[in-house]
Structure 1
Amino acid sequence: MDIHGNPVSDEQIKEYIIELIEGEGYAYGYHKLTICLRRKYKLVINKKKVYRLCKELDVLKPQRRVKRKHPRRVARNRTVTASNQLWERMSSMATYVGKIAFSFSWP
């Protein structure tokens, strides 16, 4: 649908998407393509619809994998054979009027 309320077919929107990709939008994802369609062609369109149409046209860019700065460390399972070998403590931190307070709880 355009800003005047006139319906626009999916085929016409696909042509607009192909024009954008062949022009300045060759590296755009569906979010930026949605913005371009709204600005250049004055369409009232949802990003989910643009995603669906890009998927049908097979023009979606591959997703980048997010690399973690710090790898998640899983707790090591230890076998405790005697008492006093493994100690644990639960703590929490709270802020009160600019001061930091720690609370410790013992099992």
Structure 2
Amino acid sequence: MKYGWIAGEQRFFFLMCIIDVFDRTIISYHIGLTCEAKDLVQITQEALMKRQLFSQEAKPITRSDNGPQFISHRFEEACAEFKMTHERIPPKTPNKNAHIEAFHAILKQECYQRNEFETYPQAYEIVSEFIQEYNQNRIHGSIYDLSPYEYRAALKAGSVKPIEVKV
């Protein structure tokens, strides 16, 4: 979860993302003036659909901190329904969620600090465009200096070898 500030409206907005640590893609996300467990369930379902994983026996493990959305009964029930494993990191150990924390640092530096949002629709548009740019064009040293989309394409074409992810 990452908060953003809307200066023109003097209020915060919320961004919750699901990142694939293998290729660094932000698969699904929620931007809103509120952020509840139902929003987390929705983006989790979207992520599974985008990666065509609903019919697969093996599902990815979801790792999160202990925020209220992640410890909710609603999310726990959704994980059971989706047949997913959910693991929570110990309190005060953000390094155990390093991939999403790194994305949040990039988001803060390259998006939030470079833009003063006047309205919620403006914040929504700019952050959504940033995530698209991040996925499609921003290079990552940890994946052969490719963008997440380029890395997935290169893997599919067999032009690069998969990089082992350490979590």
TM-score (norm 1): 0.32
Q: Which structure would you say has the larger Rg? A: 1
Q: Which has the higher helix share?
A: 2
Higher strand share: 2
The structure with higher relative contact order (CA 8 Å, sep 6+) is 2
